[in-house]
Amino acid sequence: MMSHPLPPNLITIYQARPEVWLFSLHWLQAAVWLVGLLLVVWAGLRMRWPRLVALLVFLTMDLVMFGAFVRLTDAGLGCPDWPGCYGRLTPVQAHAQIHQAVVEEGGTGGNVSPFKAWVEMIHRYVATVIGALITVMAARALWARRHRQAIRLGLPFGLLAWVIVQGMFGAWTVTLLLKPLIVTLHLMGGIVLLLLAAWFWMRQRTDAQPLAAGSAARVLSLVALGGLLVQIFLGGWVSTNYAALACTGFPTCNGSFHPDANWSAGFSMWRNLGRMPDGTSIPLQGLVAIQWAHRLFAVVASVLILAAAAALARHRPLRRLAGWLTFALVLQIALGASLVLLQHPLLPAVAHNGVAAWMVLLLTIAAWRASGPRVAQAAAQAAQPAPAISGLGVER
């Protein structure tokens, strides 16, 4: 009989008390944190607009991948408070508290270690920088609009609202003790943030305007993007429930195409990590259902992505994009198979998450490029050059 794949070191999570809100920084530490944010804001105000938007996309992509690294190294509770680390800004300042936690847990194999503390805090630092840059972007867009520059405010302020929600889910990930649904929604929040940032980035570009590629390319790109988002949610549900090793073998699961799976247990959404809503341990069959659902829907998502790539390849300017999309899909399938066959090694697992984010980026670009003349006309209006105003203008 297979052993339960949930890491035993996470058992201490069940004995802790979740908190809906916890702000751990002392006022002096919070003031230093605020000064750091103001420096990021200052840099964002001085940066040229296209570079600022491109930097946002780059950092968001990095954050999604690093978030996967946080989950896969069990570092989510490396600093069990928020937004600081034992009330401090850095793990260096919290050295004594981290050392004490390591002693109490009997070694660095538990939830807390210096390495895990740094992994968690670096993730928070990058997320904070992204939030500050989005705030700058919204402020600059509003300033430009009030001075009659042609720019739409929907996406900049949509990004601002979304990053605030994403920050709340980041806090709840820690304070609610890695509740699977919260962690999965936090992952999806990062993916949607990447999607919105990429769309905004494409809207600012003058070298990649939308094409009248026909309804097939446009609709299939959007449908494939929707299917990919569902697949990423299912993959996040596998990761946050530690169900990656519930199925052995590939393409079968435990030697069968009809494995013993408990679907109601696997997709009981609001519960604690490793537990059912009544407090009992989640059965192995529930974890099998989670893993098998991810594999089954991978077939659906792959068909949709290949159909979108075929529709894009019919148009010469989009053939390279279709080729990259096909390559990314093949690479993603290979990484998924290797994770099962090699017992879930860390680097391929992080790469599996990264390629998924890359595919979201590619399909977002594809949906933009195939969005037709109406969007092209609106983009041309939004891209009209306008003078900078006191260094805050939207320069293109």
Q: How far apart are CA 245 and CA 238, in angstroms?
A: 9
Q: How far apart are CA 296 and CA 120, in angstroms?
A: 32
Handedness of CA 183, 200, 354, 92 (dihedral sign): negative
The C-alpha angle with vertex 215 and arms to 211 and 216, in degrees rounded to 5, equals 105
Cis peptide before 259 (omega within 30 of 0): no
* φ and ψ at residue 369, rounded to 5 degrees: -65, -30
Residue 352: both structure tokens together: 């599996």
What is the chain's percent helix, strand, coil content, to nearest 5? 65, 0, 30
- Listed residue (214, 230, 233, 375) closest to 308, CA to CA: 214
In 10 A of CB 249, how many CB atoms? 12
**Cβ 190 vs Cβ 271: under 8 Å:** no
Q: How far apart are CA 23 and CA 14, in angstroms?
A: 22
**Cβ 107 vs Cβ 49: under 8 Å:** no
**Cβ 288 vs Cβ 260: under 8 Å:** yes
Maximum C-alpha span of the chain: 70
Identity (one letter) of the amino acid at 186? H
- Name the active-site residue from 104, 105, 120, 395: 120
**Cβ 132 vs Cβ 44: under 8 Å:** yes
Cis peptide before 5 (omega within 30 of 0): no
Handedness of CA 91, 96, 97, 103 (dihedral sign): positive
Distances (CA, A) of 171 to 77, 80, 83, 269, 317: 11, 10, 7, 19, 43
In 10 A of CB 2, how many CB atoms? 12
Q: Is 19 a catalytic residue?
A: no
> Would you name the residues annotated as active-site residues?
120
